[in-house]
Amino acid sequence: MNFRPSKHDRPVFGKLASEYSLTYYGTVVPSESDDYLPIRGITASPEQVDDNYTTGVISGYEVHLLQRTHDIYTKTGDRLERTWTICHTGLVRHTMPHLLICSKSKRISDDQTLASYLRMYEIDLASFGSPIADDFADKFAIFLTPKDIPVASRLLTPEFQAMLSINFSSYDFELDGQDIYIYGYDQPLELVKLDRQLRGLAWLAGTIQRTKLA
């Protein structure tokens, strides 16, 4: 693997790697390395450079942590530089439709721009089969294709909504097939927030595995 030293937030990732016995690698350029697991998701692009690539096993799940910076373009043609802190893992028994649960605590236009690349739509929460709590509706927007609403409804239990609203309202969540991504936006990054994001990943994977979605 062709890794380089990362310039930013290296101590935070290093401390977390030490705490959870993960392996810290550094910066990887996907176009120059073909012998590692590339982390994709809605933020992937041919020009991406992933910093602070870290991997290991937590609660039985193989996890990957990294930071990704690249430009996105709005519908009006404006270029925006964005940095995401990404936690990723894969499901074992379940396959999910492509679903974005996006925090309203930041620029919702970013989510709309990214979702539009994949022809995903912001869904009226009243169309879900399960009741949507006001607190959840105030803090999150959901993007997916309308045909996948029934599966998403089974995941969005009152307990699931409460957990996200109380503990993870500043993060974005992407589910796609067997892949789970959690996106953070804090700059500079703090250890306690990266730890929370990683714990949220393990919780989300376990919750999906225990949920009857079919």
Report yes or no on 67 lying in a domain.
yes
Distance CA 116, CA 143 (A): 10
Sheet holding 179-184, edge to edge: 3-4, 23-28, 49-58, 61-73, 79-90, 179-184, 172-177, 96-103, 140-144, 121-122
Collapsed DSSP state (helix, strand, coil) of residue 136: helix
Report yes or no on 45 lying in a domain.
no
Distance CA 137, CA 117 (A): 24
Report yes or no on 13 lying in a domain.
no
Using 50, 70 and 90 to split pLDDT, how confident is the model at 213? confident
Report yes or no on 6 lying in a domain.
no
User: In terms of residue numbers, what domain contains 187?
Assistant: 57-210
In the predicted structure, residue 3 carries a pLDDT above the cut 60: no
Report yes or no on 21 lying in a domain.
no
Report yes or no on 44 lying in a domain.
no
Report yes or no on 7 lying in a domain.
no
Report yes or no on 38 lying in a domain.
no
Give the chain's end-to-end CA distance (angstroms, integer).
Answer: 39
**Token pair of 149 as six digits:** 């609403």
Among 41, 120, 122, 118, CA closest to 85 = 41
What's the total number of domains in the chain? 1
Tens digit of each residue's pLDDT (9 = 90 or more) over 94-126: 889 999 998 987 655 555 556 655 667 788 888
Mean pLDDT, range 128-142, rounded to an integer: 89
Alpha-carbon 191 to chain mean position: 17
